[in-house]
Structure 1
Amino acid sequence: MEYGTIEREIHIDASPEVVYEVITKPEHIAAWWGFDLQVPASAGATGRMTRPRRDGSGTLVVPLAVVEAEAPRRFAFRWAHPDGRPATPQNSFLVTFHLAPSGEGTVLRLTEAGFREVGWEAARLEAYHRDHSAGWDEHLGALGAYAAGLVRA
């Protein structure tokens, strides 16, 4: 396996407008992803996401840089880059959400790229790719259920 890109596609029973809000607004992100977000959803914005570490050893702080914000069709950001340095293709992962209307719902396509570009040794690359793959499987399911729940509420 190459461990270069993660791709997922799900159908969500909510409009692209609702789904876009769910993937960009702090109060929604906390509900399906568990991160507190401190960055506006506008291209060029930088900030961070935080959440308690799973092992209980404090707070995980993840720098984030918004690359694209085209409501309600596309949202992309770079993350996991070193604190204090701008995110680049050589030091971060690029996550892109592409939203397309589908009947009364939305097809969400997620791509996370950049694993090979960070230059890690094979074992570290494989571990991060596996962790992020499992994470997106879990969190996209939660995102879909959460967004659909907003429509039903």
Structure 2
Amino acid sequence: MELGSIERELYVEATPEIVFEVVSDPAHVKQWWSDDARYETVVGSAGEILFADADGGKVEAFTVVDVQPPTRFSFRWTHPAGDEAAEGNSLLVTFELVPQGAGTLVRFRETGFRERGWTAASLEASYQDHVQGWDYFLPRLVTYAATLDARP
């Protein structure tokens, strides 16, 4: 089984400009993905993503890597708090947005699993956890973004 990357393509019935805001702006991100998001949408901004649960939740470090409105947004996350995000200590998520018909094709990719240096069991567990997570959250992105497109 390939555990190097997670890739998905999704079609969103909204313009690339709207979809870009949905995947990059913390106010929108917390509507479809995390319970809270604290960062600025500028390259190099370090912040955090929070996920609530019965035990109080989990905070993940988050660093913006690339901002090219309305076509690309990428970030690194899951690196140790206080460490600078880099290849080998974090996962890289990229959203590429391509106009398609009346909407947007979203090309999603998360990489960096093998580069973390985890044991085989930890690598597989983390990879499967992220596959399940993205399979849950990415459809929410599609639904949420479509509600924001105010075209007649």
Question: What is the TM-score normalised by the length of structure 1?
Answer: 0.95
Residue 2 (structure 2) pairs with residue 2 (structure 1): yes
Match of 1:124 in 2: 122
Q: Within 2, Cα distance between the matches of 1:5 and 1:60?
A: 23
Whole-Å Cα distance in 1 between the matches of residues 91 and 35 of structure 2?
17
The residue that corresponds to 2:95 in the other structure is: 97
2: distance between equivalents of 1:152 and 1:73? 20
TM-score (norm 2): 0.95
Cα pair 2:26 2:38 within 8 Å, conserved: yes
3-state DSSP of counterpart to 1:86: coil
TM-superposed deviation, 1:59 = 2.7
Provide the residue aligned with 1:14 in structure 2. 14
Structure 1 runs (4+) greater than 4 angstroms displaced: none
Counterparts of 1:125-144 in structure 2, within 5 Å, are: 125-144=123-142
Secondary structure, in 3 states, of the residue corresponding to 2:149? helix
One-letter code of the match for 2:126? Y
* Identity in percent: 46
One-letter code aligned to 1:71: P
Which residue matches 1:48?
48
Classify the secondary structure of the residue corresponding to 1:131: helix
RMSD between superposed Cα atoms in Å? 1.2
1:68 — aligned with what? 66
Matching residue's letter, 1:59: G
